[in-house]
Amino acid sequence: MADGELLIRNGVVYDPINGVKGEQKDICIRDGKIVESVTNPKVIDAEGRVVMPGGVDIHSHIAGGKVNAGRIMRPEDGRKGLEPKTSVCRVQSGYSIPNTFATGYRYAKMGYTFVMEAAMPPLAARHTHEELVDIPILDNAAMPLIDNNWMTLEYIKSGDTDLLAAYVAWIIKATKGYGVKIVNPGGTEAWAWGKNCNLHDSVPYFDVTPAEIVKGLAEATEKYEMPHSVHVHGNMLGHPGNFEMTTDTYDLVKGIKPYRDRPAMHATHTQFHSYGGTSWGDFESQAKHIANYVNDSDHVSIDIGSIILGDTTTMTADGPMEYSLYQITGRKWTNLDVELETGSGITPFLYSGKSPVNTIQWAIGQELALLTKDPWKVALTTDHPNAGPFIGYPIIISMLMSKKRRDESAEDMHKVIFDRADLPSIDREYDLNEIAIITRGMTAKTLGLAEHGKGHLGVGADADIAIYDMSPEERDAGKIQKAFLNTKYTIKAGEIVVKDGEVVATPPGRTIFVTPECDDKLMDEMLVTLKDKFDKYYSVTFNNYPVQDAYLPNPYEIKAPWRS
């Protein structure tokens, strides 16, 4: 946190959480926070430039075992982003899987100051945290995977939602995690035997269905005052014809009353779940079906997982999905199944505008953003690096803001886009206020971080600010893209970290974690079962499992009491 005062003068401010839609305003900063007024500040003249809160990424894979396994597997990706050390910055490498330092610098250059690591295998949580510590500048958090854990499966089977809630509390605390992440519920356990699950299939040996897992975990999550809902990557990601299963999954939380004003489910990288057709041959967009559902309901929010054309590295705890992708491409494939908990797969992938399937996928992500009427229900993501690297966000922003650019791009792509996708017929263009919503306002609110100072510029908020070198009137898509790639200034906790597109300071970020507070008696009852698992089946001991405090040098705790 920087000492002293800063005044950002005359910027055109977009602060959607506080209802500020492009007003010329001054922003005052003291000791890392937004304040009412300052007395003797350093002044930044932002006249005519766009000012927004620091970006808040709701879903990205930036740290941990599978990200690093991707880096190890792909020195050819590493060499794509080589940059020498400077007096301020450490060495940088990588394009789709940048090293930790580059991850911090490149996000900060785009004006982002918080990123959620979207999948932390509990047994390897220490690894995720070690990498988060080495990502400069960004505040961060990580969501442990809880849905294929044997403890979860057994409590779902027995119907003990309270005991499940106790386990959820324990695992989030043990991993210093943020919330409940679900990835191919049941399917990843089935993958340990080389199999997979549809929503209503029985998970081999456990006799529960993915649908029951999602519902049970959503109920267990809402037992607490959790900042964020269950964060769901559903079954059959990336399979043609999965769109109905997607909305069937959304239906599961319809009756669940969420703590606070957010939906009971966040459905992530929805692009991969909006597929029509019966095979890759008759593959088509069903974004409209998904967007209509979201428009008509208040129990689900989405992020788009939009495609960036080019080469990337796909990685997910959805092991069977990565295996089928590798079977299509024949390229490298890494798989890392984690005992009693989860798995993961990694394979490189090239999204080509010449491929009919990739073209439709490319359209779907943008369709989801454009067809979802209320931007407070949708977030901008690329499921980095799955649909493309985060460094491509400015491309998507420029697409959403410019019908002209979308039309020009469509001309260069496979003509199937005109028959089996809706994008060419959509006229809507996002304005800067809406961009600010899908990149900071909505994400901070949905994650429950707004009251902890993220994603807005109200008095008391963290002084995390992006100043873009563009006029609010700018309509040139190329210039918009350029402005969103490299800020004029990025300010983190009151300190200037990026100036004129160059990183000038690299303070460490904080790790935000949630402590769900569970009744001792319930916890003790759960621990009897859990300790038996450690004695018999885990390969590490119960006492060596939890993440030690040493792994969070800059912690920020959010307590989540049991709901009365």
Enumerate binding residues for other proteins (CB under 8 A): 63, 65, 67-69, 71-79, 81-85, 90-94, 98-101, 123-124, 126-127, 130-131, 134, 192-194, 205, 323, 326, 330-340, 343, 346-347, 536-541, 543-544, 548, 550-551
Q: Which is nearer to other proteins, 419 or 535 (CB)?
A: 535
Q: How far apart are CA 311 and CA 348, in angstroms?
A: 7
Least separation in angstroms between CB 102 and other proteins: 8
- C-alpha torsion sign, points 309, 310, 312, 314: positive
Which residues lie closer than 8 Å to 419 by C-beta, 6 or more apart? none
Contact at 8 Å (CB) between 399 and 369? no
Of 385, 313, 306, 365, nearest to 106 by C-alpha is 385
Residue 84 vs residues 91, 92, 95, 355, 491: alpha-carbon distances, Å: 5, 7, 15, 36, 24
C-alpha–C-alpha distance, residues 474 and 344, integer Å: 42
Residue 539 beta carbon to other proteins: minimum distance, rounded to whole angstroms: 4
Between 15 and 189, name the residue whose CB sits nearer to other proteins: 189
Whole-angstrom Cα distance, residue 328 to residue 333?
A: 11
Taking the complex as a whole, the smallest distance from the CB of residue 538 to other proteins amounts, in Å, to 6
User: Could you tell me the sign of the dihedral formed by the alpha carbons of 414, 416, 421, 427, in that order?
Assistant: positive
If the CB atoms of residues 94 and 305 are measured against other proteins, the closer one turns out to be 94
Residue 5 CA: distances (Å) to CA of 1, 33, 39: 11, 9, 8
Nearest approach, Cβ of residue 335 and other proteins (Å): 4
β-bridge partners, 462:
33
Asked, as a colleague might, if the bond just before 144 is cis with ω within 30 of 0, I would say no
Residue 47: burial class (beta carbons within 10 Å; 0-12, 13-18, 19+): exposed
Phi-psi region of 73 (alpha: psi -120 to 50; beta: other; left: phi over 0): alpha
Torsion of the alpha carbons at 344, 213, 249 and 299, rounded to the nearest 10: -110
Q: Which is nearer to other proteins, 39 or 544 (CB)?
A: 544
Measured from the CB atom, the residue of 77 and 303 that comes closer to other proteins is 77
Tokens of 15: 């602060």
Shortest Cβ 204–other proteins spacing (Å)? 11
CB of 112 to other proteins, least distance (A): 19
CB of 343 to other proteins, least distance (A): 8
Q: Between 282 and 535, whose beta carbon lies closer to other proteins?
A: 535
Nearer to other proteins, 175 or 359 (CB): 175
Shortest approach of other proteins to residue 490 CB, angstroms? 23
Q: Measured from the CB atom, is 323 or 418 closer to other proteins?
A: 323
Q: Which secondary structure element, helix H or strand E, spans residue 524, and what is its range?
A: helix 520-536
State the nearest-atom distance from the C-beta of 62 to other proteins, in Å: 10
Closer residue to other proteins in complex, CB, 84/281: 84
